[in-house]
Amino acid sequence: MSRRIATSWSKQLPQFLQTRAGTASRLPASATSSYHHLATTTATTTTTNALPQQQQRRLLSTSPRLSKKSGKANLSHARSDSAPPVNNAHTATPTDDAYDLSTMESQILRAMERLTHDLSELRAGGRFNPEHLEKLKVTLKPTGSALDGKETHPLGDLAQVIPKGRIITVVAGDEEYIKPLMSTIQASPYSLTPQPPKSDAPTTITVPIPPPTGESRKKALDAAKAAETTALQAVQNARAAHQKKLRTLEVEKKVRPDDVKKAKKLMDETAKKGQEEVKHIVDGARKVLESQ
């Protein structure tokens, strides 16, 4: 009797599945997946009942493993309820974009690097970075040429700069460079007075570092404050750019409100850390300038 029922049901099964398939085609995409899964499960169970008991055990022991594996794969790719399961784990979802602060962090990092560079070039008069001299542009008149034009070279290409205490020694590569080198150093914005070479060292220029004054110290501190303002504004601009992206995702309803709220919190924390780091760097530079 049971075999007769199973045989009869197996004949009607294709028609039943076809009817279910037609119904599933009218459902939304999300429901269609569940509907096909239900139809497949029904077909597997019905066919299993018509098989011998030993084969039924084998099929029933393997079917749950396949379903469980598929479920884990989907859960590992789904970032939130608003993001459906995806087949490609490398595809970023809108929720991923909301939490992605890499662009904001890189902009803050560039602001830190610029701030550090600007502060390193400041001095109150007690210290001097020899690289400032090496970067000065020296104008030379071509020799042994019919051209009346002039050539411009970095000072570091024409001479060697050697710092020692409060004295900087500039050793020219040729005696003909002495005059243009001295003119360039004297005309620089660093208030330096180069000393001409002595007879025993015809290619050596001595540059004393002037002691700090109240005016030079105040000028350096004002420049440090300006650099701090620029860096803080860069951090604020980075935050504003990320906030604009979050607002777009929120208006288009691509991300859940809870995720937007959490992403904004992370954004504010990152901006706050950047601002604190800027102030820490400037405070350290200010102490050095005031101690000179």
The one-letter amino acid at 259: D
Q: What is the pLDDT of residue 211?
A: 79
Averaged pLDDT of the chain: 76
> Greater confidence, 85 or 199?
199
The least confident of 103-117, 151-165, 212-226 is 212-226
For the whole model, what pTM was predicted?
0.53
Q: What is the pLDDT of residue 217?
A: 84
Distance CA(242)–CA(264), nearest Å, equals: 9
Token pair in block for residue 100:
């992605």
Note the helical H segments in 121-213: 131-134, 155-158, 178-186
Q: What is the pLDDT of residue 92?
A: 84
Domain spans, the chain: 2-77, 96-117+214-291, 128-208
> Greater confidence, 127 or 246?
246
The least confident of 11-20, 116-125, 279-288 is 11-20
Distance CA(214)–CA(189), nearest Å, equals: 17
**Average of pLDDT values for 88-96?**
78
Residue 123 binned pLDDT confidence (cut-offs 50, 70, 90): low
The least confident of 17-26, 220-229, 281-290 is 17-26
Per-residue pLDDT of 2-56, as tens digits, reads 444 444 444 444 454 444 444 444 444 444 444 444 444 444 444 444 444 544 4
128-208 CATH, one of 3.30.43.10, 3.30.1360.40, 3.30.470.20, 3.30.360.10: 3.30.1360.40
The one-letter amino acid at 162: I
Q: What is the pLDDT of residue 219?
A: 86
Instruction: Answer whether residue 66 shows pLDDT above 80.
Output: no
DSSP codes joined into one string, 41-108: HHHHHHHHHTS-HHHHHHHHHHHHHHHHHHHHHHHHH--STTS---S-TTSPPHHHHHH--HHHHHHH
Instruction: Answer whether residue 285 shows pLDDT above 80.
Output: yes
The least confident of 35-44, 121-130, 245-254 is 35-44
Q: What is the pLDDT of residue 214?
A: 84
Q: What is the pLDDT of residue 178?
A: 95
Instruction: Answer whether residue 88 shows pLDDT above 90.
Output: no
Q: How crowded is the C-beta side of 230, counted as CA atoms within 13 Å? A: 16
Distance of CA 99 to CAs 87, 209, 213, 274, Å?
21, 51, 50, 17
The CATH code for residues 96-117+214-291 is 1.10.132.20
* 235: three-class secondary structure by DSSP: helix
> Greater confidence, 220 or 84?
220
The one-letter amino acid at 39: A
Asked whether 118 and 287 are in contact (CB, 8 A), the reply is no
